[in-house]
Amino acid sequence: MQFVTSPQLKLLLKLLAQPIPRPWRYVLALAMVGVCTLIRSQLPHYMLPYLFFIPFLMMNGFWFGVGPALVSTLVATAAAEYFFVGIAYSFEFTQQQVINNLSFACVSGLMAVVCALFRRNLERLFQTGGDLARQVEHRTEERDSIWLISPDMLGVLDASGRLLGVNPAWQHALGWSEAELLAGHFEQVISPAQLQQRLSEVGKGEETVRFETQSATRLGQPCWLSWHIVASNALFYACVRDVTEVKRHQAALDAAEQQLRQSQKMEAVGQLTGGIAHDFNNLLTAVSGSQELMLMRLRQGRTQDLERYLGVAQGAVQRAAALTHRLLAYARRQTLSASAVNVNTLVADMQELIARTLGPHIQLQVRQAHDLWHCLCDAHQLDNALLNLCINARDAMPSGGQLVIETANARLDEAAGHQADIAPGEYVSVSVSDTGTGMSAQTIQRIFDPFFTTKPAGAGTGLGLSMVYGFVRQSGGQIRARSELGKGSTLTLYLPRCPAGPQCEAKVPANSMPHLAGATLLVVDDEPAIRMVVAEALEAHGVVVLQAGDAATALTILESDAPLDLMMTDVGLPGEVNGAHLAATARQLRTELPVLFITGYAENAVIQQGMLDTRTQVLTKPFAIEALTERLNALIPHRATVAHPQLPRP
């Protein structure tokens, strides 16, 4: 009854709350009529014969209900008629008397019923008020319990940022008591300026402000706190959680993930080096064995088998070169000659070759998109990549099946680019789908690892898909794989669109391939064997060869008056000046000097996106002498303009 303020009404409601048995209600109602009759008999005979009963009848309706009220009304009418109306102690049933009795009974009965209904509604109101009071009390107890036992630090602040109240969790977490925090130590938890800034953000329309702060406990131990602040009724309510352990666990998890990645990287490196060592040991065995046999035959004076042994050694060298090229492709370090490629035309030109490679038991289907864009990549490497994917698909269908090559234009937005791990933009997609055995999720995660293969021993090197992956990534694209065991696989290449169409293709001017005789060449390489082989091979063509083992020696020759038609330099020279820096300096001294780079891989400082100008070429090691002379012949037409250095006059 907390909602009632009057003491008299409280007492009344308390009395109303007492239950009265039904028979006693009628007895008490009739007793009230008897009391009223006795009191009325003490008054003069003519005074208020009916009206004196009305208050008592209303009380009967209010206290005892509708039934007792109606019965007591009938009894009161009879008592008034018998004792106080007309001749005392007699009933007079005249017409006027009957009308008076009925009127009194109706009016007093209606008033008694109204009082009974008022009592009933008052009881309901009392019950509802009690229920509301109990609910409020229950909610208050719940709130107080949450406030007291919550492990999160709860606080109330006013608009100025002054702390008004905190729960006990502050002392448990930070060591500060409520009195100490209210006295001003709250500023050691969060600076007033930072708190005011956050409160202003809530005032600007933000429903909830979330942020983290780095603080310290009462003992000076560092801690991280996560804040949630909301506003209500001109006050701010803060929920603060100590996330120090979460931060520590996250740091430990990050360290564990880093160690796992490093372990996986070392595992991949170990697998890579093991595969390289195995293959190169085989190749070196072939080269070394051939050389020993040639030396043995020479000592014996037998020369008829030397050409065969030379062929074995040369074949091993070529296989070693192919292996290094595959490794460079995986490492995205191969030399690419990017140009605008019409993929539809490339696929159509390769269709017959692919069909012969697949064999008659596999059906080849090509689906070419209309108005396909040109892509920017190395056409030769795309040939190799597409053929490699088709061979893998063939090996996955030993009992036959269907292979589909499909081209399409692809516009990747932010979401699609994030899913494909590629920058948003326009790409040309080339998909190779088969109906073969498919791959598991674990296999898909490793198919691009070097020397990883699911084929039987001796059936594959494990570098095919690694080479394709490296080529696509170096070209600015991506490769994605989808597969399901027993249903087949789909590998899709995404290659960047050439923005200018065929016009962005690099044009290499034709030249007359003049002879090298009489030209002067500067060879710069820190490997004496390479300088010796190049010098002797070119001198046989009538070329004057100047040699330098490092950049300093080469600069001395460049600054001299010696005529030079071309410079051939290794990219990875020892010292602070590498081949790229040497070439830049040479171009300052001799503006039109052609430069041929020889390197084990293409440096970004030398080649930009694989596009070379007419005065610069790159030749990848190992190279054949014939390939070297072809590159030099392509550069030699520019020798007439660089006969002498352009040195500044003193």
Confidence of residue 637 (pLDDT cuts 50, 70, 90): low
- Where does the pLDDT of residue 177 fall: very low under 50, low under 70, confident under 90, or very high at 90 and above? confident
pLDDT at residue number 510: 38
Q: pLDDT value at position 8?
A: 61
564 pLDDT more than 80: yes
Dist CA 171 CA 175 (whole Å) = 4
Burial of 546 per CB tally in 10 Å (0-12, 13-18, 19+): middle
| Domain shared by 634 and 591, yes or no | yes
Q: At 261, is the pLDDT very low, low, confident or very high (cuts 50, 70, 90)? A: low
Residue with tokens 């905190």: 166
pLDDT of residue 407: 92
Q: Is the pLDDT of residue 318 over 60?
A: yes
> Considering the domain boundaries, does residue 515 fall inside one?
no
How many folded domains does the chain comprise?
Answer: 5
pLDDT of residue 643: 39
Please say whether the beta carbons of 316 and 283 come within 8 A.
yes
Query: Is 279 part of a structural domain of the chain?
Result: yes
pLDDT digits (tens, 9 = 90+) for 116-158: 788 777 778 777 877 888 888 888 888 778 888 888 899 898 8
- pLDDT band of residue 11 (cuts 50, 70, 90) is low
CA triple 126-130-134, angle to 5 deg: 175
* pLDDT value for 268: 59
Tell me, what CATH number does 383's domain have? 3.30.565.10
Q: Which range (146-160, 345-359, 551-565, 605-619) has the least confidence?
A: 605-619
Q: Does 311 have pLDDT greater than 90?
A: no
| Distance, C-alpha 134 to centroid of its chain | 50
65 shares a domain with 42: yes
Percent of the chain residues topping a pLDDT of 70: 79
Residue 339's nearest CA partner among 371, 380, 384 is: 380
Name the pLDDT band for 264 (thresholds 50, 70, 90).
low
- Residue ranges making up the domain that contains 178: 150-242
Of 8-12, 28-32, 220-224, 229-233, the least confident: 8-12
Residue 35: the pLDDT is 81
| Shared-domain flag, residues 439 and 548 | no
Interatomic CA distance for residues 162 and 196, integer angstroms = 10
Residue 528: pLDDT band with limits 50, 70, 90: confident
Residue 197, in any domain of the structure: yes
Residue from 431, 325, 451 nearest 380 by CA: 325
358 and 491 inside one domain: yes
pLDDT at site 506: 41
What's the pLDDT score for residue 274? 63
Domain assignment present for residue 513? The answer is no
CATH number at 231 reads 3.30.450.20
Would you say residue 641 has pLDDT above 50?
no
| Contacts of residue 573, Cβ cutoff 8 Å, sequence gap at least 6 | 524, 525, 526, 550, 551, 579, 582
Enter the pTM of the model.
0.41
> Residue 175 falls within a domain, yes or no?
yes
pLDDT category at 408 given cuts 50, 70, 90 is very high
Residue 451 shares a structural domain with residue 540: no
Give kind and range of the element (H or E) at residue 1: none
pLDDT band at residue 524, thresholds of 50, 70 and 90?
very high
Assess if residue 512 is contained within a domain.
no
What is the C-alpha to C-alpha distance for residues 20 and 384, in angstroms, rounded to an integer?
A: 103
Q: How far apart are CA 638 and CA 391, in angstroms?
A: 44
Residue 527 lies in a domain: yes
Based on the domain organization, do 89 and 169 belong to the same domain?
A: no
Judgement on whether residues 177 and 300 belong to the same structural domain of the protein: no
312 confidence band (pLDDT: 50, 70, 90): confident
Q: How far apart are the first and last CA of the chain?
A: 112
Same domain? 42 vs 140: yes
Answer whether residue 14 is part of any domain.
yes
Segment among 111-125, 418-432, 473-487 with least mean pLDDT: 111-125
Enumerate residues 6+ apart whose C-beta is below 8 A from 113.
61, 66, 69, 70
Q: pLDDT higher for 456 or 58? A: 58
- Report the CATH number at residue 626: 3.40.50.2300
Q: Give mean pLDDT, residues 153-172.
A: 88
Is residue 503 very low, low, confident or very high in pLDDT (cuts 50, 70, 90)?
A: very low
Is the pLDDT confidence value at 91 over 80? no
306 and 383 housed in the same domain: no
Give yes or no for residue 449 having a pLDDT over 80.
no
Which of 58-62, 103-107, 334-338, 384-388 is the most confident on average?
A: 384-388
Q: Which of 504, 534, 556 is the last residue of a domain?
A: 504
Indicate the range of 175-184, 285-294, 383-392, 420-429 predicted with least confidence.
285-294
Q: 48 and 159 share a domain? A: no
Residues in a beta bridge with 484 = 488
Of 330, 361, 392, the residue that ends a domain is 330
**Locus of tokens 């008897």:** 34
What's the pLDDT score for residue 419? 77
Mean pLDDT lowest among 151-160, 177-186, 262-271: 262-271
Greatest mean pLDDT among 13-17, 467-471, 542-546 lies in 542-546
| Confidence at residue 650, expressed as pLDDT on a 0 to 100 scale | 33
Of the three residues 125, 144, 163, the one that is the final residue of a domain is: 144
* pLDDT band for position 81 (cuts 50, 70, 90): confident
375 plus 396 within the same structural domain: yes
Does 222 share its domain with 260? no
pLDDT of 127: 76
* Mean pLDDT across the chain: 77
What pLDDT score was predicted for residue 432?
92
